[in-house]
Amino acid sequence: MQQLKGKSSYKLLREYRRLRKAFWGRHLWARRYFCASTGNVTDEAVMLYIEQQEESGRDEDGFTVEGESA
């Protein structure tokens, strides 16, 4: 996971000037990651959940993505 996050961070920061400015001197990715199995949940149910999260633009902790409206 560390290699994936490191390589993707390097590539994103090289390609997007806005990210380079916003994350200068800081980490792009958090040190942790989360992985889970969906068990018997269908792909459609997972996609619906993700779409609903994107529509709200906010999670339970009040986290919002900069530049997105709720």
> What pTM did the predictor assign?
0.42
Q: How much is the pLDDT for 52?
A: 83
Q: How much is the pLDDT for 59?
A: 47
Q: Which long-range contacts (CB under 8 A, 24 or more apart) does 26-30 make?
A: 29/5
Q: For residue 54, count CB atoms less than 10 angstroms from its CB and return exposed for 0-12, middle for 13-18, buried for 19 or more.
A: exposed
pLDDT digits (tens, 9 = 90+) for 51-66: 887 666 554 555 555 5
- What span, in angstroms and rounded, lies between the C-alpha atoms of 51 and 21? 29
Kindly report the three-state secondary structure assignment for every residue of the chain. Answer: CHHHHHHHHHHHHHHCHHHHHHCCCCCCCCCCCCCCCCCCCCHHHHHHHHHHHHHHCECCCCCECCCCCC
State the chain's mean pLDDT as an integer.
Answer: 77
Q: How much is the pLDDT for 65?
A: 54
Please report which confidence band the pLDDT of residue 47 belongs to, taking 50, 70 and 90 as the band edges: confident
